[in-house]
Amino acid sequence: MRSFLVAVGLAASALPLSLLARAESTDAGVDPEVIAGIDAGLPPGGYAPDPPPLLTRHQWVVDLGYRAGTVMFGGARRITLAKPTATRRAMGRFALELFVGKELVDRVRFDFPLLGADELAGAPRRWDSPPSFERNLSTRAAVMVPHSDRATRAVLVDRATGQVWPLPWPLVARADAGVPGG
């Protein structure tokens, strides 16, 4: 009985490692062709690496919402910090990206609370699959984005699905993010 419990314990501890081994990297930014032909899925060459972080005192706090697969832009407010601060670098399923032409100026990655990169969303689920909140989830996130005088457009990217939503730039108090690729 003890050897059985040890075998089960070893198998359970190896499970997270096997899941990590199967995970594919979808790291970095948005291919400009994806922005032009939005909702075309993930870009074939992956995403560009993050640019060097911007260092600025002027930041935007962007209010974003997620409800059952729809992303909403709830507005933004501009703040001034006591000293220049570099853009925070983190991992995340979503990214708010600033562009000048085709050049990526800055990227801020983030996640909505309780929403992960659910690879099973929209597909039939096995009985033993992990729980999914994506279909019925309603959540919000406030994302701090640096102000850039160089940037000419802003987009919100769902790096798990490849969907891209254009955002108003310069950011405004309140507007609808619209349909992906709209």
Distance of CA 71 to the CA centre of its chain: 11
Burial level of 39, CB count in 10 A (0-12/13-18/19+)?
Answer: middle
Asked whether residue 176 is assigned to any structural domain, the reply reads no
Structural domain harbouring 104: 28-167
13 phi and psi angles, rounded to 5 deg: -75, -25
Asked whether residue 141 is assigned to any structural domain, the reply reads yes
Give pTM, 2 decimals: 0.64
Number of domains composing the chain:
1
Model pLDDT for residues 82-130, shown as the tens digit of each residue:
999 998 888 888 999 999 999 999 999 999 887 765 554 556 667 777 6
Model pLDDT for residues 30-67, shown as the tens digit of each residue:
444 434 444 444 556 667 788 999 999 999 999 999 88
Mapped onto helix, strand or coil, the DSSP state of residue 4 is helix
- Cβ 56 vs Cβ 146: under 8 Å: yes
